[in-house]
Chain A
Amino acid sequence: MPRSRARSVSGDVPSVSARRPRSVRRSFDDKLLPVLLVTPALVVIAGLVGYPVLRTGWLSLTDADGLRALTDGEMAFIGLGNYLRILEDPVLRRVSLVTVGFGLACVAATMVVGVAVALLLNRRFRGRGVLAVLVLLPWAIPNVAASFVWKWIFHDQYGILNWALGLDGFAWFNHWLTAFAVIGVVVVWQSFPFVAVALLAGLQTIPGEVIDAARVDGAGGWQQLWRIRLPMLKPLLLVLVVISTIWDFKVFDQVYVLTEGDPTRRNEVLAVSIWREAIAQLHIGLGSALAMVLFLILILFTIGYVWLAREQA
């Protein structure tokens, strides 16, 4: 559809410019062309993002459950029933809290590691260019592959980490806290490169004179970091915190691979619960409500960050 439209426009170019007066072409260029250019994108966004979101919102207010709901649309409006159930159900309530706690911990760790690596890469040393590329690699690794490698590194009997730490046969995945620690390591490993590289680019835009002036005034390394560098990078830091939050609250792949089929559900995050309820067990209404909860949490946090940043400024 978009292709044929594009072809016909470009195919007409010579004849149009030859025959029609300039003003017709002008008004086509200014009025119609932009609309033609954005229409395919609007169709994609409205159809594949707008509609599904509204539909999920609607489904979350129904008792849609099982195959009949899928095939015949057999469901009834139950208001906030699913949301109340999430509040009352000990497992789902716990999953919501755990998602927030785990997500925040991952964001904090990612930012700390990212800032540290960016500061390191901002120094002069041999092999800096090579390191800057190597550091990016974890970002490029598919989530699923990364999860399998780390699962192997954390293997209780033959894992290299237990050997290095002298933990003979320690089963990381038997307790929910240590299991989340492993998942957190994988998530941070995959998300710090982006933060580091983006911050490095930011650090390099700070003029050298500013830092020199601070040094002359007797500011030490820490003071330079806290009083000058980080404040100057605040808009960038805010964007990175928002992006990391969005990534880390939605984690699915790593949790699925590392703790697959955990019957106690103590290692679930919301993304996994949504999948389990809505797809695996076809509790479509409840799963949709969980999806909306995760969405609302992300919106709240994003607004919160922006508000905090404004407040301080």
Chain B
Amino acid sequence: MNRLAATVLTYLAALVVGLFAVFPLVWMVLTSLKPTADIITPEPVWWPSEFQWHRYGRVLRAGFTTYLRNSLLVAVGTTGFGLLVAVFAGYALARFRLPLRRYLVLVVLATQMFPTAVLLIPLFIVMRNLGLLGSLWGLVIAYLAFITPLMIWILRGFFLSIPDDLEDAAMVDGCTRFGAMRRIILPLAGPGVAAVSIFAWIAAWNEFLFALTFIRSDSLRTLPVGLTQFAGRDATDHGAIMAASVLFTLPVVIFFLFVHKKLTTGLVAGAVKG
């Protein structure tokens, strides 16, 4: 009897947790596909009486193809440059007795602790004076500021988990340190590198504060700011706002499902190992 109650409670709890996690997403997709009469009603309509795909076309024509392109450019740029810097630094910090190694955790924690707003004001001034406020480069540079330290931290954790006997063996066989890193360690750390890339990609894709501050012209807007502007103009068109949100969310969710395991273990392992 007691056992049965526990089982029932477990499934009940699982149902509640599952609904809490997923319902808003389902509701977002359903709302975006409903006819307006099904949306503007105090009594909810659970399943669309008819599927309305046209909203997606309308949202895309209202500037979202441009926003998508800009977001993609910024995310790819940030990921690329971030990786270039973080792979080398992460490797060096995992393998060499560098004097500043102890401070790494402090620096990373501190960069997370600075409210992005602390970086915002001086970077805003610098970008303004360099004339980068009207350019996606300004965003890429700003994003590197808070994404690279975390990438270094996570990558270092991945490199540490690879035994250094492998490099030693390669170096005995005549490889240089750099050759060993490139031919042996990087391929082994491949999954970690992929996870970190997607982490950087998602962070850049989602970022709102800098994008809101640095970009003033509509043709350079990224998705999150484009979405708020759109919602500001058509505040009552709930279906279209949801359709735009789906377009913004979908790529992240797909990417995320591929790498979630690596990301969480990487973050936590790095945090605990220090």
Mark A residues whose CB is within 8 Å of B: 2-3, 6, 9-10, 13, 16-17, 25, 29-30, 33-34, 36-38, 40-42, 44-45, 48-49, 51-53, 55-56, 59, 70-71, 116-117, 120, 123, 125, 127-128, 131, 133-146, 148-150, 152-153, 155, 157-158, 160, 163, 168, 189, 193-194, 197-198, 201-202, 235-236, 239, 242-243, 246, 249-250, 252-253, 256-257, 260, 270-271, 274-275, 278-279, 284, 287-288, 290-292, 294-295, 298-299, 302
Contact = CB atoms under 8 A, between A and B. Distances in A.
Interface string B37-81: 001111110000000000000000000000000000000000000
B119 A41 contact: no
B242 interface: yes
Interface string B226-258: 011001100000100110010011001101110
Contact of A56 (B41, B113, B121, B253): B121
A144 B13 contact: no
**Contact size range, B:** 35 or more
Nearest to B253: A140
Contacts of A117: 17
Contacts of A143: 206, 208, 224
Given A13-B178, A41-B88, A141 B252 contact: yes
Contacts of B86: 41
Given A9-B178, A33-B178, A134 B22 contact: yes
Contact of A157 (B42, B88, B107, B177): B42
B272 A239 contact: yes
B92 A34 contact: yes
B117 A59 contact: no
Which 4 A/B pairs are nearest by Cβ-Cβ distance? Answer: A41-B89, A48-B145, A140-B256, A37-B92
Contact of A138 (B21, B92, B144): B21
Report which residue of B95, B109, B117, B123 has the largest number of chain A beta carbons within 10 angstroms of its beta carbon.
Answer: B117
B182 interface: yes
B169 interface: no
Interface string B91-124: 1110110101000000101111111111111111
A262 B223 CA distance: 23
Nearest to A144: B224
B190 interface: no
Interface of B: 7, 10-11, 13-14, 17-18, 20-22, 24-25, 27-28, 31, 39-44, 84-86, 88-89, 91-93, 95-96, 98, 100, 107, 109-125, 128-129, 141-142, 144-146, 148-149, 152, 171, 174, 176-179, 182, 202, 205-206, 208-209, 212-213, 223-224, 227-228, 231-232, 238, 241-242, 245, 248-249, 252-253, 255-257, 260, 264-265, 267-268, 271-272
Given A41-B148, A148-B231, A287-B121, A252 B18 contact: no
A53 B208 CA distance: 20
A67 B144 CA distance: 27
B208 A278 contact: no
Contacts of A152: 27-28, 31, 238, 241-242
A252 B208 contact: yes
B85 A44 contact: yes
A9 B182 CA distance: 11
Nearest to A199: B268
A37 B253 contact: no
Nearest to A162: B42
Contacts of A193: 21
A135 to B, nearest CB: 5
Contact of B20 (A44, A155, A189, A197): A189
Given A125-B11, A143-B224, A197-B260, 19 more contacts: A2-B85, A10-B178, A33-B177, A37-B89, A38-B98, A45-B149, A48-B141, A49-B114, A116-B13, A137-B22, A143-B208, A152-B238, A163-B44, A198-B267, A246-B112, A250-B117, A278-B117, A295-B115, A295-B118
